[in-house]
Structure 1
């Protein structure tokens, strides 16, 4: 699930966000801090009454560049791959087309009003990405 507060006017076809969901987000955070040189901002999370932090990875300019998340809460079941989030105008229609075109829905995450706000999908050749309602 995207961590950064991105521009709400993201256009269809652009890349909205990038994150990685893994079992040990703290160790993974440290790996990327050392290898890429990112700085880190904790993003406080809560699931089932448990508090924990996911991580917003910051570029040299201090702006969020990517997220590293624990495989908890809304992120349970997401594959441990760098996931790009692509904004679409009609998420329900895009998910229908994913299936129609031979892809699969890995996990759809509903928002407060019951409509899906994002969904992890796999294309027909196995590449994973996420679609977000813009």
Structure 2
């Protein structure tokens, strides 16, 4: 199982996926594998050699147009439902209820007590 309480995944939400792929390919040597999304779009998994290191996706149907391109982080938790209850008790808020990504894990989009958005996830490790 993935470690509890550690940043586990980062993804770039952008208006120009191809430009971002070209930039990170040139600056960091990343290559990209396509993964279809349930919403019909395409998620690009950034690879450094054989290791998946990040994701890139089009933000158009995910956040309002006024939200600029940005990196979004996920922290792995040991028990997603229990941690969401604690989050709310401590002044946080759930922005998107838990959802599953088959073969990856369970996710929820939340806001901490200061108003910062992030993701909580319970990763499924191979």
In 2: Cα distance, 1:119 partner to 1:128 partner: 11
Which residue does the alignment assign to 1:12? 4
Equivalent position SS for 1:65: strand
CA RMSD of aligned residues (A): 2.8
Cα deviation, residue 72, structure 1: 6.7
Cα deviation, residue 118, structure 1: 0.7
TM-score scaled by length of structure 1: 0.68
Cα deviation, residue 88, structure 1: 1.4
Cα deviation, residue 119, structure 1: 0.9
Cα deviation, residue 10, structure 1: 0.4
**Does 2:38 match 1:38?**
no
TM-score scaled by length of structure 2: 0.72
Which residue does the alignment assign to 1:88? 77
CA contact (8 A) 1:77 1:107 kept: no
- Runs of 5+ unmatched residues, structure 1: 1-8
Which residue does the alignment assign to 1:53? 42
Alpha-carbon distance change, 126 to 36 in structure 1, aligned in 2, over 3 angstroms: farther
In 1: Cα distance, 2:58 partner to 2:98 partner: 16
